Amino acid sequence: MRPRHVGLAAALAVVAAGCAIDKDSAPRNVPDDRREELRAPPQQLAPGGSSGDDRIFLVVSDTGRLRTSQRETDGSPQELMESLFEGATAEDQDNGLRSVLDPFEFRSATVQDNVVTVDVDVDPRVLSGSELRLAVAQIVYTASQLLPDATAEVVIKLDGGNSEWPDGAGNQTGEPLTIFDFYPLAESAQPAYPSRPSRAPAPTTTTTSSVPPSTPSSPPASDAADSTDAA
């Protein structure tokens, strides 16, 4: 080892020794204002854990409809959409949720005015028609959470370029998409209305006429005289 390196190593050793924390030789009292710090470890959230204040949309395995799952993000478009493309967590899967976005590669997400632009890379041929429709619905519903009342128009770009995507009915469109294009695919938090009670049929009434039956009228007087002459 060169003398210069030896001197540097010795200096680092001295600094490390000075920063070392010696063990207490005997128990000592901990001030009250430090006890809370030592009582519980800091909270740790697993990446993509199913908790937090933000929401993404996943697919219910049994029904094929969308349901929300919570995420902890900084609220930015990039981080929220990244959490979506990371897929379902173990807890989500235990709750019967999955994602159909595995073939997608997320690139970026931006918000300008009322439009959320999401750039992805994927070969649409690797997904069937229904699976691709669900994938687009996941993107649109999650991106809509970035604006108040989910009023966003969502533009999905394919590797930076314009592309057509299926709406909820399976029709290809290059126009911006909204949640209203996919509303039948998402579960509603509103309870179902009770069925309207069936009404009993209205009673039928039969009316009878009070007018007496008509009687044959007498022939005119002239006709009667003619009959008498003929006799």
| Residue 27 pLDDT greater than 90, yes or no | no
* CA–CA distance, 175 with 181 (Å, rounded to integer): 11
What is the per-residue pLDDT for 148? 86
Give the chain as a 3 state SS string: CCHHHHHHHHHHHHHHHHHCCCCCCCCCCCCHHHHHHHHCCCCCCCCCCCCCCEEEEEEECCCCCEEEEEECCCCCHHHHHHHHHCCCCHHHHHCCEECCCCCCEEEEEEEECCEEEEEEECCHHHCCHHHHHHHHHHHHHHHHCCCHHHCCEEEEEECCECCCEECCCCCEECCCECHHHCHHHECCCCCCCCCCCCCCCCCCCCCCCCCCCCCCCCCCHHHHHHHHHHC
What is the per-residue pLDDT for 210? 54
Higher confidence at residue 209 or residue 171?
171
For the chain, what are the domain ranges?
54-185
Q: What's the token pair of residue 175?
A: 């126009």
What mean pLDDT is reported for the chain?
A: 74
Share of the chain above pLDDT 70, in %: 59
What is the per-residue pLDDT for 202? 59
Note the pLDDT tens digit of each residue in 142-178.
999 999 888 899 999 999 999 999 999 999 999 999 9
Higher confidence at residue 177 or residue 228?
177
Note the pLDDT tens digit of each residue in 102-156.
999 999 999 999 999 999 999 878 888 899 999 999 999 999 999 988 889 999 9
47 within 8 A of 86, measured Cβ to Cβ: yes
Residue type, 140: V
The reported pTM is: 0.61
